[in-house]
Amino acid sequence: MNKQLRKRHRISWVLIGLSLPVMMLISWLFIPQLEPVKAITMDLPEAFPISIKKIEHPAYTVQLRKNSAGEMQLEWRNEAPLKVPTAVIYQLNEGNSKQLIGRIETRGIYRFTIQPDSSSNNTYRFQLYDFIHQQIIDTLNFHL
């Protein structure tokens, strides 16, 4: 390496040494200020005042409720997280037709508005279903 090449080499390393911290500072200033990730929460509807029937299970409690206008509500309270993370609730009607009510996930309270029973025997039937494994977890029957 001759004298002129050593001089160019030294100048290039000095320029790199000075420009790297400046570029790092500029890039740090251009990082966008994002909001921290917030958990997605759904607003829980108010519980209807009249409790009609209650089924208790070690992992969950299910209540059938209604208001003064006659609207019905299913209240699902998970005492412990379910063993399957993909559970949905169906309301079973006459002729084994299913109507999707909602999804149950972790520990907590879930309330769903349900359609009145069209049959004459006043029986509300619900099915807890795991749609990934395609299996029925539980079936609940409310006889009024």
pLDDT digits (tens, 9 = 90+) for 127-142: 999 988 889 988 988 8
Domain boundaries, the chain: 1-31, 50-143
Tokens of 143: 């006889």
pLDDT tens-place string over residues 53-85: 999 988 889 999 988 888 889 999 988 877 887
CATH, domain range 50-143: 2.60.40
**Nearest alpha-carbon partner for 137 in 65, 77, 85, 73:** 85
Q: What is the pTM of this model?
A: 0.66
**At a CB cut-off of 8 Å and minimum separation 6, what does 14 contact?**
none
A 10 A CB-CB count for 44 gives 11
Strand partners, 54: 63
- What sign has the CA pseudo-torsion 16, 18, 22, 24? positive
Q: How many residues does the chain have?
A: 144
Q: Are 45 and 37 in contact (CB under 8 A)?
A: no
Predicted local confidence at residue 86, as pLDDT: 77
